[in-house]
Chains A and B, each alone.
Chain A
Amino acid sequence: MLNKSSVSTVVTGPTARTLVSKSRARTDVQWIISSVSIAITLGLWGLFASDAKKVAGVAAQVTIAPPDQAVATQPQVQTLLPGQVLLFEGTAPQPQVQPAQPQTIAPAKPRHKSGGGSSGPAASTGSSHP
């Protein structure tokens, strides 16, 4: 029964050198083919990947920067309508009713005579009572 070591020891001389040379040439060709394949693969990858990145970037830009936010980063002159509130942050202030200033009434002074020559008012108003 022969083994590999016993075979290699049999092939010697010029024939052996030729075999070694062919083997080296085949290996070189394989390396070249592999390198070219990898280069083409990487080139195509880079080409398509950059296109996809551009699309994703556009999408991300649309998502992250909505129109109103763009307005906020680029201040524009706004015309506020009456009653319109411009908010920068926080919650809107609650409307507050400003109470009217109490108007204290001076003591009553008769300015007219009552009707029909009688004295006193024609009628009186008060909380309805029996």
Chain B
Amino acid sequence: MTQQLDFKAMGCRMRGVIDTEDAAPLLQSMPARIEEWEQILSRFRPDSELCELNQRAGIQVVVSQVLWDVFEASRLSEAETRGLVNPLTMDALIHAGYDRTFDELASGDVDTVVGSTAVPVPALQDVLSDPEQQTLKLPLGARLDFGGVAKGWVAQHAMMMLREYGPSLFSAGGDIAVSGLRGDGEPWEIGVEDPFHPGRYLRSLYLPSGAVATSGKDYRRWMHSGSLQHHIIDPRSGLPAETDVVTATVIAPDAILAEAFAKAILISGSEAGLVWLDHDERLAGLLLLENGMQVGSRRLIEYV
């Protein structure tokens, strides 16, 4: 008997699913656990550990295990995506107008006193880290924002907690990790949302293991200085990415990689993105383009 818990955290919807009968207490404990993680990782809470770290740029700071692990995940993402996923895009994001939670942005109260010039994005290698002391030292003027990497990490680690009790799935805002096949031996059915028709699915993917994540410029958009902005910053330009991809859905071995590659392929555009998906045997993907066309990578056939 599948048990499921839906709740909201980190500014998005969360869903935990366990394919067993006696895991209700564990599911019920998940919101509190994720609240702990959010208190560490949120850039919207001034008293979060991340904000305190950002305020101490230039100083070596001892960080918690969670913050260290997510930083390592972001470093992995940066390396895997050749720098297209960079947790130091925060200033560029704020410059583009994403200077408050999306709920506040969506209310229409948007700051308009910002130029359209690019903000240079620092290199992640400029952050000095000491694994033994577990310390981080940000370069002056740099601030970390884990963004999607944090969601991928949360999905992966929440699923790893749930799987102790049985076949499980965890979704953090659409970043989904599964422990393996369901209790009946079948893969998990995952709906890929249609951004042009809310409430409908483009198609279903059948996930036997691993993870899937979607990155897009459909949600989290706002008008800023007379132009439509979105929250996917291209580190190469320091500006919101110019791409023909509306949403990129990527299947990968874990949710951190799935999230990272979804964002990287969205930034890259459909042509380079498909080449990337086809050349990396760990990946499969489905792209929705601005012209409405759905395009899949070669290995996507294994999941449909």
Binding site for B on A (CB under 8 A): 97-100, 102-105, 107-108, 110-116, 118, 120-130
- Report which residue of A105, A107, A122 has the largest number of chain B beta carbons within 10 angstroms of its beta carbon: A122
Residues of A within 8 A of B296 (CB): 103-105
Q: How far is the CA of A122 from the CA of B214 in the complex (A)?
A: 16
A-B contact sample (15 more), CB < 8 A, given A107-B203, A129-B102: A102-B274, A103-B296, A105-B286, A105-B300, A108-B202, A116-B1, A125-B193, A125-B213, A126-B218, A126-B219, A127-B193, A127-B195, A128-B148, A130-B102, A130-B103
- Report which residue of B13, B201, B204 has the largest number of chain A beta carbons within 10 angstroms of its beta carbon: B204
Residues of B within 8 A of A129 (CB): 12-13, 102, 173-174, 219-220
Q: Scoring B residues 182 to 200 as 1 if CB is less than 8 Å from chain A, else 0, what string do you get?
A: 1110111111110100000
Residues of A within 8 A of B203 (CB): 105, 107-108
Q: Distance in Å from the Cβ of B179 to the closest Cβ of chain A? A: 12
Question: Are A123 and B17 interface neighbours, CB within 8 A?
Answer: yes
- Report which residue of A107, A112, A123 has the largest number of chain B beta carbons within 10 angstroms of its beta carbon: A123
B266 to A, closest residue via Cβ: A127
Q: How far is the CA of A112 from the CA of B191 in the complex (A)?
A: 13
Which secondary structure dominates where chain A touches chain B? Answer: loop
Question: Are A99 and B275 interface neighbours, CB within 8 A?
Answer: yes
Given A127-B214, A128-B151, are A121 and B286 also a contact pair (CB < 8 Å)?
no
Question: Are B187 and A112 interface neighbours, CB within 8 A?
Answer: yes
What are 28 residue pairs bridging A and B, where the CB atoms are less than 8 Å apart in the complex? A100-B275, A100-B297, A102-B274, A103-B300, A104-B296, A105-B286, A105-B295, A105-B304, A108-B202, A115-B186, A115-B188, A121-B190, A124-B192, A125-B190, A125-B191, A125-B192, A125-B212, A125-B249, A126-B216, A127-B215, A127-B216, A127-B220, A128-B148, A128-B173, A128-B174, A129-B219, A129-B220, A130-B11
